Homo-oligomer: A and B are copies of this chain.
């Protein structure tokens, strides 16, 4: 068929990684460029992954007492100005609404994040200690008018995300839960997306505008660049002060509460594509996949009816995996194999007339491509097991890559050498903005995170030589 030629990925992952990525995104119909520069269309093949992430994460946070809500898209200018650091951080990327003919009382912008508009409501809603802790999350679109080049899923002006916003009576609670939600992010990445992450704290210069502390999980992409997968902020009391959030404690005394916010975005989908994809296209981590198996019947005129009937039977049997029969007449089995490999369905089940006689099917795992004959009676059980094996293998492969491509450096020379080898590097660092700027200017590398649980240690900053007790992960990043 003429079509088959155009169907596949024409660049290799090891060749031109960036071009390979774009081809997978476009050809697997995950996303498309929008008419306005910097915007994207999330196509059904990717949106279903986002829905799966949402379902899983909702379950996790509902257990933690979080409830979902929806706050307005537009934020008044005066709100941004209430928290100085926050304003400075987001001002350059705001998209303002034309106010000439709208009778708008005040200048308003599309939300780049919703701290300010949400905390305005919190100031109205929170009265006493009985109202705390307050834990609300929203799934929404946000807009940051960046000038850097568009990268589908990773860097677009509009993206989808969740943002959690919690209020607590004490600093301890806020810190504990900021870390708890970070841990939920880690579990989501590792247990659902099969992407290993390094958790830690952001340096002074990389923390969120307005936060006291920012915690992060970082993943390593195959091109050696780190990708920030989610952040959780201990906001301290700065926003509470700025927005007048107060509560009466049990003794009736007015108090300032402590706050957290935490978010991850559709860039998680970008990480999946990069980490698990191969030269044939997308590989959907099997626990994440809604459609975990495709059944391709091998059809010949004489046995067509019998084989199709059996395929439909298997579809029913594999309903918990959302298996479906690709019974399109106008495509050959080979074309179908290529299409579902490109689109990353975890398992393929082939059934032809010979298999029918032997009461067996062929099971093929998307990641390994290995074929396996499975007795029909054992198929459901075997498919479930294959899903779990595949998850484990994908995760372990990614973890091995992360280990092999992260290292420690003690000298500036070693650091630069490791950087040129596209590694993530742990270095002694003084955690000052000035020093981080210098490193960035000289190497384009940025700090990724300060690992938790560092022992008391006497070190010297690899750049400025000042004494420090911290080791920090640095690397190039998206």
User: Which A residues are closer than 8 A to B by beta carbons?
Assistant: 32, 34-37, 39-44, 47-48, 50-51, 67-74, 76, 79, 95-98, 102-106, 108, 110, 117, 120-121, 124-125, 130, 136, 140-141, 143, 145, 147, 158, 160, 330
Inter-chain contacts of A42 with B (CB < 8 A) = 69-71
Cβ contacts under 8 Å, A97 to chain B: 95-98, 110
Pairwise interchain contact B73-A158, C-beta atoms closer than 8 A: yes
A158 pairs with B40, CB closer than 8 A: no
On chain B, the residues within 8 Å of A98 by CB distance are: 95-98
B130 touches A330 (CB 8 A): yes
A41 with B68, Cβ < 8 A, contacts A76-B36, A98-B96, A102-B95 known: no
Query: Within the complex, which residue of B39, B69, B72, B158 is in contact with A34, where a contact is CB–CB below 8 Å?
Result: B72
Report B-chain residues with C-beta under 8 Å of the C-beta of A68: 44, 47-48, 51
The one of B41, B70, B95, B105 that contacts A71, using a Cβ cutoff of 8 Å: B41
Q: Would you call B130 and A32 a contact (CB within 8 A)?
A: no
On whether A124 and B73 interact (CB within 8 A), knowing A67-B47, A96-B98, A97-B96, the answer reads no
B70 adjacent to A39 (CB under 8 Å): no
* CA gap between A97 and B43 in the complex, in Å: 25
How far is it, in angstroms, between the C-alpha of A34 and the C-alpha of B121 when the chains are bound?
8
CA of A30 to CA of B154, assembled, Å: 35
Judging by beta carbons under 8 Å apart, are A141 and B140 in contact?
yes
A74 and B36 contacting across the interface, CB-CB below 8 Å: yes
The residue that A72 contacts in the complex, of B41, B70, B117, B121, with Cβ under 8 A, is B41
- Chain B residues, CB < 8 A from A117: 34-35
Inter-chain CA distance A378–B68, complex, in Å, is: 34
Do A74 and B108 touch across chains, with their CB atoms under 8 A apart? no
| Cross-chain contact B69 with A47 (CB below 8 angstroms) | yes
- A316 CB to nearest chain B CB (Å): 15
Given B39, B48, B330, which contacts A67 in the complex, CB threshold below 8 Å? Answer: B48
Q: Is the CB of A35 within 8 A of B79?
A: yes
Least Cβ–Cβ distance between A279 and chain B, in angstroms? 24
Instruction: In the A-B complex, list the 5 residue pairs whose CB atoms are closest, starting with the nearest.
Output: A44-B67, A42-B70, A39-B72, A96-B98, A34-B72
Give, as a whole number of angstroms, the nearest-CB distance from A145 to chain B.
6
CA–CA, A32 and B72, complex, Å = 11
